[in-house]
Chain A
Amino acid sequence: MMAIYIALQGIVPNNSNGDRGQHWEAQLRKGCLEMAILASLWQSRLYGLEILRALSEKSELDVAEGTLYPILSRLKGEGLLDSEWVEAEAGHPRKYYWLTAPGRRRAREMAGAWNEFADKLTSLVQPVVGGK
Chain B
Amino acid sequence: MTTTSLLSNVRIEKYLTRLQSSLRGVAEDDKQDILREIRAHIVDSAEHAPDPQSAIDRTLRLLGTPEELASRYSTECQLRRASSSFSPWLLFRTCWNWAQLGIKGTLAFFLALFGYGMALGCTVSVFIKPFVPKLGLWTGPEGFGIIIPDHADRMHELLGSYFIPVIAVIGFVFAIATTQILRWMMRQRTPRVASTAERSSQLAQVQN
Interface residues of A (CB under 8 A from B): 1, 4-6, 8-9, 12, 14-16, 23, 26-27, 30-31, 33-34, 47-49, 60-67, 69-71, 73-74, 77-78, 85, 90-95
B62 adjacent to A64 (CB under 8 Å)? yes
Whether A64 contacts B3 in the complex (CB less than 8 A), given A5-B175, A69-B34, comes out as: no
- Give Cα A61 to B198, complex, Å: 12
B37 close to A95 (CB less than 8 A): yes
| A-contact 0/1 string along B126-143, CB 8 Å cutoff | 000000000000000000
Partner of A77, one of B39, B77, B183, B193: B77
Q: Measured between alpha carbons, how far is A16 from B73 in the docked complex, in Å?
A: 21
CA distance A8 to B183 in the complex (A): 15
Question: CB < 8 Å: which of B41, B64, B179 contacts A48?
Answer: B41
Give the one of A15, A64, A91 with max B CB within 10 A.
Answer: A64
Indicate the member of B34, B36, B41 with the most A CB atoms within 10 Å: B41
Q: Is the CB of A27 within 8 A of B188?
A: yes
Q: How far is the CA of A53 from the CA of B179 in the complex (A)?
A: 39
A30-B37 in contact (CB<8A): no
User: Can you name the residue of chain A whose Cβ is closest to the Cβ of B60?
Assistant: A65
CA distance A94 to B39 in the complex (A): 10
Known contacts A27-B188, A48-B41, A90-B3; A64 and B73 CB within 8 A of each other? no
The 8 Å CB contact of A90, one of B44, B175, B199, is B44
- CB-defined contacts of A16 to chain B, threshold 8 Å: 83-84, 183, 187
Residues on A with beta carbons closer than 8 Å to the beta carbon of B111: none
- Cβ-neighbour of A62 out of B40, B80, B184, B196 (below 8 A): B196
Contacts of B88-135 to chain A: CB distance below 8 A: 123
Distance in angstroms between the alpha carbons of A49 and B44 in the assembled complex: 7
Instruction: Decide: A62 and B36 in contact? CB cutoff 8 A.
Output: no
Residues of A within 8 A of B163 (CB): none
Q: Report the interface size for chain B: residues with CB under 8 A from the other chain.
A: 50
Q: Considering the chains assembled together, what is the distance between the CA atoms of A77 and B39 in angstroms? A: 21
What total of A-B pairs shows CB separation below 8 Å?
A: 118
Q: A8-B176, A91-B4, A92-B7 are in contact. Are A69 and B37 (CB under 8 A)?
A: yes
Smallest CB gap from B186: residue in A: A16
Q: From B44, B179, B187, B194, give the contact of A64 (CB < 8 A).
A: B194
Which residues of the other chain, B, contact A64 by a CB distance below 8 angstroms? Answer: 62-64, 192, 194, 199, 202
Contact partners of A49 in chain B: CB under 8 A: 41, 44-45
Q: Shortest Cβ distance from B122 into chain A, in angstroms?
A: 11
A70 and B37 contacting across the interface, CB-CB below 8 Å? no
Closest to B64 in A: A66
The distance in angstroms between the C-alpha atoms of A46 and B163, with both chains bound, is: 62
Per-residue contact bits, chain B 27-59, to A (CB 8 Å; 1 contact, 0 not): 000100110111111011101000000000001
CB contacts (< 8 Å) of B83 on chain A: these are: 16
Tell me whether B4 and A71 are in contact (CB under 8 A): no
For residue B4, which residues in chain A have a CB less than 8 angstroms away from its CB? 91
**A31 to nearest B CB, angstroms?**
4
Report the Cα distance A47→B1, complex, angstroms: 22
Are B34 and A67 closer than 8 Å at their CB atoms? Answer: no
Is there contact, CB below 8 Å, between B62 and A66?
A: yes
